[in-house]
Structure 1
Amino acid sequence: MPGCQTRCGDVDIPFPFGVGVNCSLPGFEISCGVGAATTGPVLAGTDIAVLNLTVMPRPEARVLLPVAWQCFNSTGDSTGFSYGTVRFNPAGVYRISDTHNELFVLGCNTLVYTNSGPPGRLPYTFYTGCMTFCNDSGSAKDGRCAGVGCCHVDIPPGLTDNWMEFGSPSTWSHADQEFSPCDYGFIVEKGYYTFRASDLANMPVSQTMPLRLDWAIRNNGSSSSMSMSCAAAKKTSPVKILVVFPLAAQLALGITLGLSLLIVAILVTLMVIHKRRMNEYFKKNGGSVLKKVESIKIFTKDELNKITKNNSEVLGQGGFGKVYKGTLEDSSMVAVKSSIEVNEERKEDFTNEVTIQSQMIHRNILKLVGCCLEVDVPMLVYEFATKGSLQDILHGEDPVFMKTGLLTQKSDVYSFGAVLLELISRKKIVYGKNNSLIMDFCRVYEKEGSGRAMLDVDIATEENIFILDEIGKLAIDCLKDDVNDRPDMNEVAEQLVMLRRDRKYGKSQNKSPRHSEGIATSDSPRSFATDTTNSSATISLISSATPSRELPDL
């Protein structure tokens, strides 16, 4: 409390204890620096030294109490005694802890017991003690306390004062017992005392022992702001404190608890909604179909966040959003990108496309490792292109991992036509300031009947010019505005295969594959799943024609 002493010697004095007027609750007064026994703190009105005072985690006072004793001469006559009586509990705030203390009796022919509590069938409610005996001076042994020179027992709960009684000397004779002239009884903190046989003859009658007192602020009128609740009416240890707060504090506590419960309820509700939403996304994005495909790994949203470290490293900008770098558990690197948004109309196409991509194995095609379907727009996980992309090779600076996403077959044809133009011209789709490769090539083609003016000069040699011109014509077909006028990928791949064959056998100068309709080839593609693999014929044609350009071996 303000203005009150908070420490005496080496002992802290926490409230409800206090030194001085109006510094403590009734029964918790402490005196400091007075008394015969010590210059430190003592329980007010006594010589009982205080060793320690605690409020939390256990309300407890550790004090020193005197031992009870009686001594005899060689004929068995009493020379003095003390019952160790100490009335330290006038306000009833203390109980001798039954869980942390025990009763010891020392002697060679004695009974010692303690008692406490209101009258019942007998004058006291509690009686407990033990008896000891020694046959001779060599009977007692150090460390042994089982009835020979020493005994000890637990104490009952509810003891309020220190009071020992000895058996009658007429019954318990001490004649010719110089090796144990005195009997002793004391309550002591458990674990503190270990019996020594020499104590039977040498323990001083002024000996004190530490013990632990439970304390409580009891509802007996001694305090108007706090009350005490015991574990049970017949058990006062361990003691529990019940604090009665003012009305304003109770309201504040109630509001705080109410808000805490509301926040917890909101968080739980949000978690349930989030989980339900992820399940809905999973179903919307074809999860029930794709989870059965063995060649693809279905990542959860949490797993994907862990892989990309919460999208911390951006590789570039794809056609449908940013592309992120990630690392799998086996330390292999991957690229993670958004796919197209899936609805009921697109779900079947999406699942088919993902299934096909996961099954495609070719050294020039990035493998689809897996996907995450617990998000609004599915995320695709590809193996990482460590040597860069086709764009990097064609256009040099600023490596960007570009993907076109999932498109229809006719859209793929248009995109493939654009790639063909980039290959033979080595120009970007948009080059210079505002130049469009597709528009410029088509304009030159319409004007001159050929796109030779826009071919890459490094590969436009006399022996290659025919094949490059044919590739340019094929690209023009792929880029037609009307999708019905575009060839499908099977037709595109078949023409490229024939161009590669003619190149191989030196027939490129004599005929055009565009005039060889209906000719079946053994290595022509049979399904859309193989279209992409056969498209490598184009790059093979160009790379074989010009060793000076280092293109990927597709």
Structure 2
Amino acid sequence: MTMPWQYSQLLPILLLLATTHTIVAADTQQQPIALAGCPDKCGNISIPFPFGTKAGCFREGFEVTCNYSFNPPRAFLAQDSTFHIVGYGNYSANYSGRNYVDVMNYSQVPVELLDISASTSELRGYGAVRSDCIDGYSKYDDHLVKLQGTFLGWNGPKPFLLSPLRNVLMGVGWNVKPKMVLGGSIFTTTGYMLACLAYMRYNVLTNGTCTGRGCCQTSFPPERDVNFTINAFSVTFEPQKLLDDNDGMSTNSPCSYGMIVESSWYNFTSEDMFGRMVLANKYPRGVPFVLDFAIRNGSCPTEGQQPPQDYACISGNSNCAKAASGDGYVCRCWDNYDGNPYITNGCQDVDECQHPHLYNCSSGSICKNTPGGYECPCKSGMRGNGKEGACSENFPLPAKVAVGLAASIVIIVLMVMTHQLLKLKRFYEQNGGPILKGVKNIRIYTSKQLKQITDNYKVVIGEGHFGKVYIGRLEDKQEVAIKKTIEVDETSKQDFIDEVIIQSGMRHKNIVRLLGCCLEMDVPMLMYEYVVKGSLYDVLFKNKDNVPVDTRLRIAIGSAEGLAYMHSSDVKSTIRHGDVKSANILLDESFTPKISDFGTSKLLARGKSEKTEWVIGDKSYIDPAYLGGILTQKSDVYSFGIVLIELITRREATYDDKRTYVTNFIQACQEQKARNSIDNDITSEKDIVLMEMVSEVALECLKANPEERLDMREVENRIIHIIRKSEQHGQDRNYQGNLRPNSEVPLLKPGEK
């Protein structure tokens, strides 16, 4: 659904008056990142060239494995060149001499990817968390150690190196000194590059900071040349003197942790200090770390030199740069261009005008994108350059006066229009428009459109429960019924929305279709298909024409089928009508019944009842249990039982405190005198027998205990069974094909469900 057309026409004018400049922007289209015909995704991760998952889709050393055993699939660097060693070990007895660990088991696992950036020549992967946990309660008890080592090159140089600028070493624990050891060894604390100390006493912790109290971190030394390479590393712990046993920290905080992690990613919290293997459980796939990648087997060609045959920077608008760490080179898009410089046409112009933080145009100018940049021409009537300075006016005074007068007139007209449109908008929102505009199967009409459809509400065809009903005609000449509903306020707004939502989902030949609604009025209007013969109440009690038994049975079956559809149309919830009566069953030219008037319909959780203090509906048809505050779908069954009585007797249902109407009928049936109550117009013995059998179905609907009543599908099948039984006994062969509206409904014996 869309907002009424008046709002959409006014909005551009109001924006033109309110804004000081207009930004002209073009849609940014998705640019290719992989070679033609190659997959560019693995699960949720983009795979840009030079990476790839299939043969012919990646440069040597950049192979990615897409593991489809996960959902969604996960991406890993090829294990033959880049992998983690993850293992478990222990040490015991002499704490002071634990420089080596007895390895219990270890495994080689590939590096899992988080993302790849071709434009910055970086990727992020998951790295393991090293942990050291005391198994007992003393500083001399056994320790369980989770080990990790990472190898970024094996059997020769590989594209990947640890980024010294984008990672830090972190330690978490009550007395821990983690070290980053070069060479990937998981067994020694010697030969380390980085170290830090986390020491904590008396539970003095500060969440969000990592300054040594329970958490420490250190970066690669800034004074060191960044052109060193790290292609294998691990995190180990140097033994530290334990706190006194009576401090209690070794018991409450048995584990220490160390990790190489992306800068500013980890946010320390005191919860990570207490418990066993907390960080390992918190990050089961590991923590992110950043790798630089480069084309290691080459260098940037000098100016004027022909690039080698396997040169990687093949996109236009790109250049070559020395690798951030290690040997080789990387490809970069030019300034103001973005994309993948490793593929043809991978670097595309950035539209700065779509991103206000990328351009700086002064007031009075308009941003216009250009290849590799942008311009800021001044608006019409102004001079200067908005990129170099301010724009100044060159508009003459008489022209300003004329424009001012014209603008004043426009503003007055807009104010009047705005007032009227705001009024319509207020009604639209008050009547649930923001919610109902997303409902399928209905159309929201404007008040102007509805006035045209009804010819200014010229013909009234009836009065419903809440107001008048008008005849209307759509552009395709289809006749419709326009019903004025209740006045909606905050207390009744949800009820009205529920009514529309319920009806919009009802698509059945025995249910009146809701075609649309108009919400721009103090009292909303609903548009239905027009049903020509009016209601069953009118046919039975206002007209004098004879109603044949086959017509009555067809009406009963169709009405039951429509109600059964309502009761079973939703899987998670069910719908009850709440006001079933002959006046709410409409008939078309073929006497096909259609259930209408859903003003009291509600969604109920499947199999549940609803308690209510407000009883709405015609008391002549209402379920006694509903009068007691309990509402279920069996309440509809009870009301339908009274409709069956009306079809049998052609006597209008009435209400009194003793419920005489229903009591007399039940008593007559129990005394085998049901035929005395049958409509006098029914004289054929075979028709009288049919009506007696329908009376038995009505009695099943009217049982005092709702749980003992039939459901609507059983009611429908019982009546169909009566007809079939009559046919089988040769009482009336003429009913076949006329009385059963749904040939797929199975034949049931009495009492079957």
Q: Scaled by the length of structure 2, what TM-score is found?
A: 0.28
Q: State the structure with more CA Rg.
A: 1
